[in-house]
Amino acid sequence: MRRYLIIFLAALASIALFFLTKYVLQKLTKKNSVFFASLISLSGFSIFILLSFMYLEHDAAGPTYNYNPPSIKNGKVLDGKFSK
């Protein structure tokens, strides 16, 4: 679920970056403002995705870890945990 939220937020940020760049370039009367705005928007999308995944997934469990779910032993509930 986190992955889809990151992609959605990255898309929103890139759209906002596109319109902001296009607006600024039109005020500066640059030609090809749509091309430059698209290029900056695409690079902003890529950077946002990369940084978000690096930030949010750095403490995730590795693929080699096994999960032991909570269990009941002698009438007591033992917590679940990851083990190698």
CA separation for the pair 5, 14 (Å, rounded): 14
Is the pLDDT score of 1 beyond 80? no
Average pLDDT over residues 15-28: 83
3-state SS, one letter per residue, for the chain: CHHHHHHHHHHHHHHHHHHHHHHHHHHCCCCCHHHHHHHHHHHHHHHHHHHHHHHHHCCCCCCCCEEECCEEECCEEECCEEEC
Structure-model confidence comparison of residues 1 and 18, the more confident one: 18
Average pLDDT over residues 53-82: 80
**Of the candidates 20, 39, 38, which has an alpha carbon nearest to the alpha carbon of residue 28?**
20
Question: pTM for this structure?
Answer: 0.55
